[in-house]
Amino acid sequence: MASAADLDISMDAASLYREEIYTDRKVGTIRTLVPVTPSGATDGSRPVVYAGEAQIMTQMGPLPISFEIEAKSLSEAVAGYAAAAKVAVERTVKELQELRRQAASSIVLPGQGGAGGFPPGGLGGGGKIQVP
Protein backbone atom coordinates (compact mmCIF):
# COMPACT_ATOMS: atom_id res chain seq x y z
CA MET A 1 0.00 0.00 0.00
CA ALA A 2 1.35 3.47 -0.90
CA SER A 3 2.24 5.82 1.89
CA ALA A 4 1.55 9.55 1.91
CA ALA A 5 5.23 10.15 1.11
CA ASP A 6 4.83 8.14 -2.13
CA LEU A 7 1.85 10.16 -3.40
CA ASP A 8 2.22 13.18 -5.67
CA ILE A 9 -0.27 15.57 -4.06
CA SER A 10 1.13 18.80 -5.46
CA MET A 11 -1.11 21.11 -7.51
CA ASP A 12 -0.26 21.86 -11.14
CA ALA A 13 0.17 25.65 -11.26
CA ALA A 14 -0.20 25.60 -15.07
CA SER A 15 -3.69 24.04 -14.84
CA LEU A 16 -5.47 26.29 -12.35
CA TYR A 17 -9.11 27.31 -12.72
CA ARG A 18 -11.39 29.69 -10.85
CA GLU A 19 -14.82 28.20 -10.24
CA GLU A 20 -18.00 30.23 -10.55
CA ILE A 21 -21.41 28.73 -9.83
CA TYR A 22 -24.71 29.74 -11.45
CA THR A 23 -28.14 28.32 -10.64
CA ASP A 24 -31.77 29.06 -11.36
CA ARG A 25 -32.67 27.37 -8.03
CA LYS A 26 -35.16 25.14 -9.89
CA VAL A 27 -33.53 22.75 -12.29
CA GLY A 28 -29.80 22.69 -11.83
CA THR A 29 -26.42 24.31 -11.63
CA ILE A 30 -23.79 25.40 -14.12
CA ARG A 31 -20.19 25.53 -12.94
CA THR A 32 -17.97 27.82 -14.95
CA LEU A 33 -14.30 26.95 -14.74
CA VAL A 34 -12.28 30.00 -15.76
CA PRO A 35 -8.59 29.29 -16.44
CA VAL A 36 -6.22 31.40 -14.37
CA THR A 37 -2.49 31.96 -14.11
CA PRO A 38 -0.61 31.07 -10.92
CA SER A 39 -1.09 34.71 -9.82
CA GLY A 40 -4.88 34.41 -10.18
CA ALA A 41 -5.27 36.52 -13.32
CA THR A 42 -7.59 35.20 -16.03
CA ASP A 43 -5.67 33.10 -18.57
CA GLY A 44 -7.14 33.90 -22.00
CA SER A 45 -4.99 31.29 -23.76
CA ARG A 46 -7.14 28.43 -22.43
CA PRO A 47 -10.89 27.95 -22.93
CA VAL A 48 -13.50 28.38 -20.22
CA VAL A 49 -15.14 25.06 -19.26
CA TYR A 50 -18.88 24.83 -18.54
CA ALA A 51 -20.10 21.90 -16.45
CA GLY A 52 -23.73 21.19 -15.67
CA GLU A 53 -25.05 19.45 -12.59
CA ALA A 54 -28.45 17.88 -11.96
CA GLN A 55 -30.02 15.19 -9.81
CA ILE A 56 -32.31 12.30 -10.61
CA MET A 57 -34.35 10.48 -8.00
CA THR A 58 -33.68 6.77 -7.61
CA GLN A 59 -34.96 4.16 -5.18
CA MET A 60 -31.81 4.84 -3.15
CA GLY A 61 -32.40 8.61 -3.11
CA PRO A 62 -31.08 11.49 -5.22
CA LEU A 63 -28.24 10.67 -7.59
CA PRO A 64 -26.05 13.61 -8.67
CA ILE A 65 -25.14 13.81 -12.34
CA SER A 66 -22.34 15.97 -13.74
CA PHE A 67 -21.79 16.68 -17.42
CA GLU A 68 -19.83 19.02 -19.64
CA ILE A 69 -21.70 21.58 -21.74
CA GLU A 70 -20.16 22.57 -25.06
CA ALA A 71 -20.40 26.37 -25.06
CA LYS A 72 -18.39 29.51 -25.69
CA SER A 73 -20.30 31.70 -23.21
CA LEU A 74 -22.53 31.45 -20.18
CA SER A 75 -25.61 32.25 -22.26
CA GLU A 76 -24.75 29.38 -24.65
CA ALA A 77 -24.23 27.08 -21.65
CA VAL A 78 -27.65 28.03 -20.26
CA ALA A 79 -29.25 27.40 -23.67
CA GLY A 80 -27.42 24.06 -24.04
CA TYR A 81 -28.05 22.86 -20.47
CA ALA A 82 -31.25 20.91 -21.22
CA ALA A 83 -29.82 18.95 -24.15
CA ALA A 84 -26.60 18.10 -22.31
CA ALA A 85 -28.53 17.11 -19.18
CA LYS A 86 -30.84 14.85 -21.20
CA VAL A 87 -27.88 13.00 -22.72
CA ALA A 88 -26.22 12.64 -19.30
CA VAL A 89 -29.43 11.36 -17.66
CA GLU A 90 -30.00 8.83 -20.47
CA ARG A 91 -26.40 7.62 -20.17
CA THR A 92 -26.75 7.30 -16.38
CA VAL A 93 -30.03 5.39 -16.65
CA LYS A 94 -28.43 2.96 -19.13
CA GLU A 95 -25.47 2.46 -16.78
CA LEU A 96 -27.83 1.79 -13.85
CA GLN A 97 -29.80 -0.72 -15.93
CA GLU A 98 -26.57 -2.48 -16.90
CA LEU A 99 -25.45 -2.64 -13.26
CA ARG A 100 -28.84 -4.12 -12.30
CA ARG A 101 -28.59 -6.65 -15.12
CA GLN A 102 -25.10 -7.67 -14.01
CA ALA A 103 -26.23 -8.01 -10.39
CA ALA A 104 -29.25 -10.11 -11.40
CA SER A 105 -27.17 -12.45 -13.52
CA SER A 106 -24.24 -12.81 -11.15
CA ILE A 107 -22.89 -16.32 -10.92
CA VAL A 108 -23.09 -18.16 -7.59
CA LEU A 109 -19.86 -20.12 -7.15
CA PRO A 110 -19.66 -23.43 -5.29
CA GLY A 111 -19.28 -22.92 -1.56
CA GLN A 112 -21.26 -19.69 -1.54
CA GLY A 113 -24.64 -21.27 -1.04
CA GLY A 114 -26.81 -24.17 -2.05
CA ALA A 115 -30.30 -24.45 -3.42
CA GLY A 116 -32.38 -21.34 -2.95
CA GLY A 117 -29.32 -19.39 -1.87
CA PHE A 118 -29.12 -21.12 1.52
CA PRO A 119 -25.95 -22.81 2.69
CA PRO A 120 -25.85 -26.61 2.61
CA GLY A 121 -27.72 -27.95 5.61
CA GLY A 122 -30.15 -25.04 5.88
CA LEU A 123 -29.94 -21.80 7.82
CA GLY A 124 -27.26 -22.49 10.36
CA GLY A 125 -25.72 -20.07 12.83
CA GLY A 126 -22.30 -18.54 12.67
CA GLY A 127 -23.22 -15.00 11.72
CA LYS A 128 -21.39 -15.06 8.39
CA ILE A 129 -23.45 -13.55 5.60
CA GLN A 130 -22.22 -14.19 2.09
CA VAL A 131 -23.57 -12.15 -0.80
CA PRO A 132 -22.87 -13.58 -4.24
Q: Per residue in 45-104, pLDDT tens? A: 999 999 999 988 888 888 899 999 999 999 999 999 999 999 999 999 899 889 888 888
Would residue 72 count as lying in a domain?
A: yes
Least confident range of 4-8, 40-44, 46-50: 4-8
Would residue 32 count as lying in a domain?
A: yes
More confident residue, 131 or 78: 78
In the sheet that holds 61-69, the strands lie side by side as 17-23, 29-35, 49-58, 61-69
Would residue 116 count as lying in a domain?
A: no
Neighbour-count burial of 50, counting CB atoms closer than 10 A to its CB (0-12 exposed, 13-18 middle, 19+ buried): buried
Query: Which residue in 41, 44, 45 sits closest to 18, CA to CA?
Result: 41
Structural domain harbouring 98: 13-104
Would residue 4 count as lying in a domain?
A: no
More confident residue, 57 or 120: 57
Would residue 114 count as lying in a domain?
A: no
Would residue 87 count as lying in a domain?
A: yes
Would residue 83 count as lying in a domain?
A: yes
Question: How many domains, in total, are found in the chain?
Answer: 1
